[in-house]
Amino acid sequence: MFCPKCKSLLRPKIDRGKKVMGCSCGYSSETASSTITEKGAKQKEIQVVEEVETKPIVDAACKKCGHNKAYFWSIQTRASDEPETRFFKCTKCKVTWREYK
């Protein structure tokens, strides 16, 4: 349905406790011929069976437990003319740290 004033698309809104079709220009359609219904899709339940890390493993010493293997990823956290920030996550104790260079 379109607004007869500005030809914009009418959207459902609530006016005085009643659902009507309204426009941003202020027009509202109170005709009984239009019925507004709301439908929602049924949500499926997702069950996580196992948490799997997909990041590469590199040689990096953990400062907490001393383990020498860690997951590695990098993100541009500052301006584009500065180097990216490297993040590490220990494969043993799961502590995360960052390295700026």
Q: Are 60 and 32 in contact (CB under 8 A)?
A: no
pLDDT at 73: 94
- Report the pLDDT value the prediction gives residue 35, as an integer from 0 to 100: 61
Identify the pLDDT of residue 97: 94
CB 34 within 8 A of CB 21: yes
Catalytic member of 38, 51, 59, 81: 81
Q: Which of 30, 53, 82, 99 is catalytic?
A: 82
Determine the topology of domain 57-99 in CATH: N-terminal domain of TfIIb (2.20.25)
pTM above 0.85, yes or no: no
CA distance 74 to 81: 15
Domain ranges for the chain: 1-36, 57-99
Are 87 and 72 contacting, i.e. CB atoms less than 8 angstroms apart?
yes
Among this protein's residues, is 59 annotated catalytic? no
Q: What was the pLDDT predicted at 70?
A: 95
> Tokens representing 18?
């009643």
pLDDT, averaged per 10 consecutive residues of the chain (101 residues), comes to: 86 80 82 63 82 88 94 91 93 92 75
Q: Is 82 an annotated catalytic residue?
A: yes
